[in-house]
Amino acid sequence: MSRATLADYLTTHTDSTSLQQLVIALADTSIDIRQDLAGGALNDILGAAGAENVQGEEQKKLDVIANDRIKAALAALPCVRGIASEEEDDVVPAHQGGEFLVTFDPLDGSSNIDINSMVGTIFSVLGSNADGPLSEQEFLQPGRQQIAAGYMLYGPSVMLVLTVKKGVVMFTYDPQSGQYLLTDDQVNIPADCKEFAINMSNQRHWAPAMQRYIAELLEGKEGPRGKDYNMRWVAAMVADVHRILCRGGLFCYPWDKRKPEQAGKLRLMYEANPMGLLVEQAGGRICTQDGPILDIQPEQIHQRVPVILGAANEVDLCVSYHQS
């Protein structure tokens, strides 16, 4: 069976040749990152890089390698005005005449690198009509203004999951042809589920409403929900969201009281917003305890948020517990 390539899909579903070039550049760069990962210790990419990023998190060697690869690929495109990355303190200018801003997490789940588990690259594309020097303010757009979003998942097979706001599609990398080929053209998240992902070791630190909600799931069919749930946790948002896009479910990374001044763990601009656009385009929901994440007006590029995403009915119920 002949399958559409990523280039075929982009040509059919967007009129912007610049956007097509941008997505293909990210896809091509992901193959280089895949090669870095495939060699593991043989490529000397395991372990810490010996520095911290702007969030105070220890950088892994491959965090830095992946960031540099993506930054170089995007900087080579005249259509890219500027970039923002988890691994960069500030926004990085590219071309003043560019029409796109790109935010990305170069290697989500990098704590999994040293144990040969799943990681991924998350990206978001925004538009800009600004002139003159690049500013952080240009990036501070609500998630609904994203032009495109997606991720590359480095697992047993390498996959690219994409939305250009016309639904969600999945591509699988074919090593023989060197192409990403379309393998799912209509991703859908069921409104109900029997599976959830959360780090249960933090349970005692959550708000009472989240503790109540998860406790009811754990009570199973003997409890008020009347059915049993499976629990999963990969410690990489990209992998947990991928599972939800493939077979449904719920993912939560809630606020906790250890750092009450910090809204959440995940970053709004290059984690929650791109994943949120994918989830909503697939029929799911993404919220904080206060409402939809894609409606949040960002205040700064590394802003954090609590996240509840996945099956629409479960997300709505969880949010209703917080609001009541």
Within a 10 A sphere around the Cβ of 52, how many other Cβ atoms?
11
Q: Is 105 annotated as ligand-binding?
A: yes
Report the distance separating Cα 279 and Cα 187, nearest Å. Answer: 9
CA end-to-end span of the chain? 52
Q: Is 52 annotated as ligand-binding?
A: no
Helix boundaries (H) for the chain: 6-13, 17-39, 61-75, 208-219, 237-247, 273-281, 312-323
Within a 10 A sphere around the Cβ of 201, how many other Cβ atoms?
8
Strands (E) in the chain, as ranges, are 48-52, 58-60, 80-85, 92-93, 100-108, 119-127, 148-154, 158-163, 169-174, 179-184, 195-197, 230-232, 250-253, 266-267, 285-288, 291-292, 304-305, 307-310
Q: Is 87 annotated as ligand-binding?
A: no
Using alpha carbons, select from 150, 163, 120 the residue that is nearest to residue 13. Answer: 163
Report the distance separating Cα 99 and Cα 130, nearest Å. Answer: 9
Q: Is 265 annotated as ligand-binding?
A: yes
Cross-sheet strand order for the sheet of 291-292: 230-232, 195-197, 250-253, 307-310, 285-288, 291-292
Q: Is 110 annotated as ligand-binding?
A: yes
Q: Is 314 annotated as ligand-binding?
A: no
Q: Is 107 annotated as ligand-binding?
A: yes
The total number of residues written for the chain in this structure? 324
Contacts with 264 (C-beta within 8 Å, 6 or more apart), sequence order: 253, 254, 255, 288, 304, 305, 306, 307
Q: Is 109 annotated as ligand-binding?
A: yes
Dihedral of CA 112/106/175/158: which sign?
positive
Q: Is 166 annotated as ligand-binding?
A: no
User: Which pair of tokens denotes residue 247?
Assistant: 């077979």
Q: Which residues are annotated as a binding site for substrate?
A: 108-111, 199, 265
Q: Which residues are annotated as a binding site for Mg(2+)?
A: 86, 105, 107-108, 271
**Known binding site: residues?**
86, 105, 107-111, 199, 265, 271
